[in-house]
Amino acid sequence: MRIFVAGASGAIGRRLTPLLLAAGHEVTGSTRTEKVARELENAGVHGVVADVYDADGLKRAVVTARPDIVIHQLTDLPRVFDEKELVAAYPRNARIRIEGTRNLVAAARAAGARRFIVQSVAFAYAPGREPHVETDPLNLTDGPRLPTVRAAADMEQQVLASGMEPVVLRYGLLYGPGTWTEGPARKPPVHVDAAAHGAFLTLTRGSGIYNIADDEGTVSIEKARKELGFDPGFRLPA
């Protein structure tokens, strides 16, 4: 299949693209710089420079790629954890999830993509009985993560209403190579390789919303296990 990965150079994108290539898929990956686009090319991905806020330019890039599936792994977060930088990044990340998603969904539809997979968050649930299942309400009323949760909710609804086959992956807080921490530090956690494999699994199965996290009691991953074959213990070869 032809697959367009928006955010191919991010923490999950870098672990996902080898899985896609190994399975024989034709992968186009977007990034914001020519340097990273060349790195993607060297890894076997067709790298394209695209600005998610340039709706026309993004549409041209996606239409040219003619993807069967678009995978939205875009974020705007610091590479290294710094509390001040993270707080400053919240509005930018929210903008990607709202405006950026709008432009990417429009580009995917223009390209005739049949399936759209998006990265969301599993830490957005309103306080209540755990483990949270996918039908539990999100906390859209208060808390320090309110801008993030509201933007994620907006993004999810855009994808679910896109007219394409929608898959929303509510990821736990990442750990592992290329993330802020080597081991699980905050709940709910998920290893970056398991997160990437969760996206890979949804190329050919599943629809709707899935929690993708470690099985430690904060969120339920039974739906992802049953419908996707998700295994939180999955790791890429060293």
Could you tell me how far CA 92 lies from the centroid of its own chain?
16
233 part of a folded domain: no
Residue 156 lies in a domain: yes
Residue 140 belongs to domain spanning = 2-228
Residue 174: CATH number of its domain:
3.40.50.720
Can you give the length of the chain in residues? 238
In a domain, 61, yes or no: yes
Does residue 235 sit within a domain? no
User: Is residue 187 one of the residues assigned to a domain?
Assistant: yes
Residue 236 placed within a domain: no
Number of domains making up the chain: 1
Residue in 186, 160, 159, 182 with CA at minimum distance from that of residue 172: 186
Q: Which residues have CB under 8 Å from 232's CB, separation 6+?
A: 190, 191, 194, 213, 214, 215, 221
d(CA 60, CA 51): 11
pLDDT along the chain (238 residues), means of 10: 96 97 98 95 96 97 98 83 74 94 98 98 96 97 87 98 98 95 95 98 98 98 98 94
Q: For residue 29, is it within any domain?
A: yes
CA dist., res. 175 & res. 191, Å (int): 5
Residue 27 lies in a domain: yes
Specify the pLDDT at position 78.
63
pLDDT of amino acid 87: 73
End-to-end Cα, the chain, rounded Å: 26
Rounded distance, CA 12 to CA 119, Å? Answer: 9
Give me the pLDDT at residue 80, please: 67
Q: How far is CA 204 from CA 34, 58, 114, 120, 198, in A?
A: 31, 25, 11, 19, 11
> Sign of torsion, CA 33 39 43 46?
positive
Mark 28-60 as b/e (b = at least 16 C-beta within 10 Å). Answer: bbbbeeeebbebbeebebbbbebebeebebbbb
